[in-house]
Structure 1
């Protein structure tokens, strides 16, 4: 235990109630312990105002436009030079974990839909894009259809893991730079402004509401593995498994 941390951070560092892998928990704690988080209230306040202004303009009866490539290049550039290494690793890990979860759902409900978003570096995110990440989630649910199919009827039938890719933290490479100081939450606030500006209003609305499917994912997986308690915690926790 790092006693130089606050009492709260010491408490959550010893809490093992949720099955979160130690690598992810350590990254999370380092991100929370980022000394530059002192900037977060000011930056988040600024970004919140900017976001509401952009969102108001986007909802006016004006021609809609999007710039997916520009969006992805801008976010990746920002991650490379300003987002902390810990936050970048959490982002890369998030991609892989959600891809694994959606593939597990598809495999164990008899569908062929597979997600192949497993970036290892920030540059890889230029191809495994944030837009694709959201669309894959929606496409998976569209193809999965009725949730009653997400049931493991035969306890003797083994689970299917063919598309599951183990997450090796040594393979996730982030080149450290002196300018990488921003924590995940602050960076996320800026990302939302970029999403709002460079996506059509419907695309942005879908992207920010995608988390509403988290509970549905937990319910479907809980039915497959026969674990009802899984529905009590959201996919934001599952992303760290």
Structure 2
């Protein structure tokens, strides 16, 4: 049974309509159907309803305490390798299959979007480092950290070339969609033991202070500030497409206004949804152009 069948087979009770069914059926926001079903099913879980309200304030308290700790001993116990081993163990042991599916999709789609932008700006040559994990094993190889570095390096290298060669990013009459996968992303079946219950939002809130603890203060700030680049990527894509109708869906706004790390977990979810929506739009445009 596909993930979308969960909602397709859900009965509609007019006296008690399911809010997640309404959002799933709504077509106003571009979104891959399988990913949308996974995300909304995850949102409707008991973990999201009952565990998140308890863990979120505790997580944010830990962020504050770790910030103070980092001021006193800024580089104690910092290790990206240990961090990613811990994240791998936590995802494999406690995170729900739907949440893990959405996390791995994010790396895959993010890499494709950056390649799409590079491919459609004439005169730009940027060496890419695509991340396309199909299971949890690549998490152990600094997957989250490399994802952030890829984004910053792409923006820096792209703009160096744009400035040096006086390139203008404009609408392309025929877009190159070689980088965009329109078929299902080949992600393997995720662990589904009795312990794999944490929803996406709760898992992110739990892992954020862990991320902070094992990284230097500079690395953690860099990681959280990367979320503000959503608007930058959205603007680049909209210039190439020739339409900015969907930019209203981006909630991580102005990259020149760094925000507090306290809401990093919530903003990370918004970052993931923005990536899904942009990729779904590109798939939609790819199919229309092919037709």
d(CA) in 1 for partners of 2:231 and 2:108?
A: 19
In the other structure, the counterpart of 2:47 is: 36
Residues 3-14 of structure 1 correspond to what in structure 2 (within 5 A)?
3=12, 7-14=18-25
In the other structure, the counterpart of 1:151 is: 170
d(CA) in 2 for partners of 1:192 and 1:16?
A: 32
Deviation at 1:159, TM superposition (A): 2.3
> Does the 8 A contact of 2:94 with 2:197 survive in 1?
yes
- Where does structure 1 lack aligned partners over 5 or more consecutive residues? none
- Where does structure 2 lack aligned partners over 5 or more consecutive residues? 1-6, 251-270, 281-291
What TM-score do the two structures reach when normalised by structure 2?
Answer: 0.75
Match status 1:88 vs 2:100: yes
> Does the 8 A contact of 1:219 with 1:230 survive in 2?
no
- May I ask how many residue pairs the two structures share in their alignment? 237
Deviation at 1:36, TM superposition (A): 2.4
d(CA) in 2 for partners of 1:10 and 1:163?
A: 32
2:59 aligned residue (20, 44, 47): 47
Deviation at 1:56, TM superposition (A): 1.7
d(CA) in 2 for partners of 1:118 and 1:69?
A: 19
In the other structure, the counterpart of 1:133 is: 147
d(CA) in 2 for partners of 1:52 and 1:63?
A: 14
In the other structure, the counterpart of 1:208 is: 224
> Does the 8 A contact of 2:96 with 2:196 survive in 1?
yes
What TM-score do the two structures reach when normalised by structure 1?
Answer: 0.90
Where relative contact order (Cα < 8 A, 6+ residues apart) is larger, the structure is 1
SS in 2 for 1:116: coil
> RMSD of the TM alignment (CA)?
2.1
In the other structure, the counterpart of 2:26 is: 15
In the other structure, the counterpart of 2:242 is: 226
2:204 aligned residue (166, 178, 188): 188
Residues 69-84 of structure 1 correspond to what in structure 2 (within 5 A)?
69-84=81-96
In the other structure, the counterpart of 1:114 is: 128
Q: Per-residue displacement from partner, 1:70-103 (whole Å, max 9, x unpaired)?
A: 0101001000000000000000111111111111
d(CA) in 2 for partners of 1:16 and 1:165?
A: 20
Deviation at 1:173, TM superposition (A): 2.7
> Does the 8 A contact of 2:104 with 2:187 survive in 1?
no
> Does the 8 A contact of 1:106 with 1:114 survive in 2?
no
